[in-house]
Amino acid sequence: MEKVKLVIHEKNEYLEENKSVPNTLLEKYEKAQEEHRTAKESHEQEMKTASILIKHAELKILHSESVTKKDIKMKRLTALLEDFTGNIGAKC
């Protein structure tokens, strides 16, 4: 009978010691969920920022290409006008 009481007492001590385990696990789970949510939001914000920077760079490149094409056209037109005015001047 003493042995049964000892086992019951040990069982009760074990249960008392481990009573807070589910709460501790739940707290850790909730903390991990919050950290995950925060990291996800941060990542999404970084992706949005990167996307905006990429779009901005693309626009700069397109603008630069457009300006370069216009410069080439202007040089060609200038050369044509110089040839034209040179030919007219030579005829006069």
* Domain chopping of the chain, boundaries: 2-91
- 56/84 Cα distance (integer angstroms): 42
The one-letter amino acid code at 54 reads I
- 65/78 Cα distance (integer angstroms): 20
Put simply, whether the predicted model's pTM sits higher than 0.85 gets the answer no
Q: What is the pLDDT of residue 6?
A: 78
> pLDDT, tens digit, for every residue of 18-74?
777 788 889 999 999 999 999 999 999 999 999 999 999 999 999 999 999 999 999
